Amino acid sequence: MNFPYKKVGVVPKTGKPGIQELISKLSSWFRQNGSALFITEENEFEAVQRVSREDFVNQAEMILVLGGDGTFLRAGRLALNRDIPILGVNLGRLGFLTEITVDELFPVLEKIKTREFSLEKRPLLQAQAKSGNQTLFEGHVINDAVISKTAIARLLEIETRVNQNFLALFKADGLIISTPTGSTAYSLAAGGPIVFPTMEAIVMTPICPHSLNQRPLVIPDHFVVSVHVQASENVSLTLDGQSVHLLGENQYVEIARSPYHLEVIKSPFKTYFDILKSKLRWAEI
């Protein structure tokens, strides 16, 4: 029985010790199992085919991530418009998206080969920076959209509306609007809740609010969140820590459900709760 995905793109974190040896082993394994492994041309690894980024996106039937959550987010942005399934292999320590360890990698590939695996469809968000009815910047959000200061300054006054109804004037260092997948990232560090990654929800978490009465909030993702920063000088909108737009005067941010999903290949050996217990050390006494 051959591997079900014939063309597998790999997105590695460069500079990791042993990464070349691992890619060589993977390339050999995929060849033996009727599949081809390839990589984008800006990466220089031996024993693996290099293709353009456009060909990578158009040809990949599955993406294999070798790195941490940042590498996973970079790979996820390549997969969005084609629903390409992603398998994340963690080469670091703390990683909620890259849930497979290196020791588990080849046993997991064998499980995929025998079709003993499941796909998890995770909802995403779409963020737009607007001026009036004109969209100036937009992108899809796997983890979070962060509205924050670009320099040390006074607290921001962040007027937030849900479905055009006024919600709050957050006085804070910023506001994190995250997907359930991103609830274990920056939002969690800022005091936000952990939300199961397949739930259809939007998590809003103020960053260091001036008032302790301003708490994180979870709402359905069919709602639309509008954010206007009063005196928006030196304020940025950052998507997944990778794409940045400086907000100009009279610009505002609109967050809504994305038409895309992220398809994650789940580990056949552990659940999401096992990952939480391990990463957050809940099982320690």
pLDDT 10s digits, 83-124: 899 999 998 766 788 889 999 999 999 999 999 999 999 999
CA atoms within 13 A of residue 97's CA, in its CB half-sphere: 28
Given this model, what pLDDT does residue 185 score? 93
∠ CA 37-40-43, nearest 5°, is 105
User: Would you call 274 a catalytic residue per the annotation?
Assistant: no
pLDDT of residue 94: 62
Domain boundaries, given as residue ranges, for the chain: 7-118+266-279, 124-259
Tens digits of per-residue pLDDT, 217-246? Answer: 999 999 999 999 987 678 999 999 989 999
| Banded model confidence at residue 148, pLDDT cuts 50, 70, 90 | very high
The model's pTM is 0.92
Q: What architecture (CATH level 2) is domain 7-118+266-279?
A: 3-Layer(aba) Sandwich (3.40)
Taking residue 144's Cβ as centre, other Cβ atoms within 10 Å add up to 25
- Encoded amino acid at 34, one letter: G
In this structure, what token pair is assigned to residue 44? 């220089």
Q: What is the pLDDT of residues 20-77, one digit of tens each?
A: 899 999 999 999 999 999 998 887 777 788 899 999 999 999 999 999 888 999 999 8
pLDDT at 285: 55
Burial class of residue 182, CB neighbours in 10 A (0-12, 13-18, 19+): buried
Residue type, 262: L
Q: Are 235 and 250 in contact (CB under 8 A)?
A: no
| Per annotation, catalytic residue among 69, 173, 221, 240 | 69
Which fold does the domain 124-259 belong to in CATH?
A: Tumour Suppressor Smad4 (2.60.200)
Contact indicator for 191, 208 with CB cutoff of 8 Å: no
